[in-house]
């Protein structure tokens, strides 16, 4: 049950959002037990985002939150590949130089969906 948050200082239209969501949901399938239909996505476009003191050049921050068990169960190379694919998609769709895109994959120690801890429900 991953959560994707993309913050950018560029405008993002509905078609671009849908393209990014579809592509990243496919990349998430590389991670065992993750399901694309459970991906929740948030876009924060036209944000006051600066990189190296530059607010005017397009930049983006991609955050893909997953349960800490997902990170513990998988090799770093696999997780890096997912983040690399996410960077590539955001770069191409939003025309942002990859050097101006940062990514994080924070591990969440406790996560619920529909009121149940996901390890007891979705990821069992």
Query: Could you tell me the residue range of the domain that residue 82 belongs to?
Result: 3-110
> DSSP label at 27?
H
**63 Cβ contact list (under 8 Å, min separation 6):** 4, 5, 6, 7, 103, 104, 105, 106
How far apart CA 118 and CA 58 sit, in angstroms, is: 36
Supply the pLDDT for residue 121.
62
CATH number for the domain spanning 68: value is: 3.30.429.10
Task: Examine the pLDDT at 123 and tell me if it is beyond 60.
Answer: no
> Is 121 contained in some domain?
no
- The predicted structure's pLDDT at residue 107: 86
CA distances to 65, 76, 86 from 81, rounded to whole Å, are 15, 9, 9
Q: How far is CA 52 from CA 57, 99, 102, in A?
A: 10, 11, 12
Domain annotation covers residue 62:
yes
Asked if residue 21 is part of any domain, the answer here is yes
pLDDT tens digits, 50-105: 999 999 999 999 999 988 888 888 888 999 999 999 999 999 999 999 999 999 99
Counting Cα atoms < 13 Å in the Cβ hemisphere of 48 gives 0
The answer to whether the predicted template modeling score (pTM) of the entire model surpasses 0.85 is yes
* Residue 124: band (very low, low, confident or very high) from pLDDT cuts 50, 70, 90: low
**Tens digit of each residue's pLDDT (9 = 90 or more) over 24-58:** 999 998 988 788 888 999 999 999 999 999 999 99
């Amino acid at each position: 049950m991953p959560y994707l948050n993309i913050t950018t200082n560029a405008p993002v239209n509905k078609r671009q959002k849908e393209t990014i969501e579809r592509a990243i949901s496919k990349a998430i399938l590389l991670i065992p037990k993750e399901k694309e239909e459970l991906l929740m996505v948030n876009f924060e476009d036209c944000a006051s985002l600066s990189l190296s003191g530059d607010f005017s050049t397009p930049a983006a921050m991609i955050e893909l939150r997953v349960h800490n068990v997902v990170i513990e169960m998988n090799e770093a190379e696999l997780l890096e590949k997912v983040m690399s694919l996410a960077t590539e998609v955001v770069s191409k769709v939003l025309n942002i130089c990859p050097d101006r895109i940062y990514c994080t994959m924070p591990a969440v120690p406790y996560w619920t969906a529909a009121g149940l801890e996901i390890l007891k429900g979705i990821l069992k």
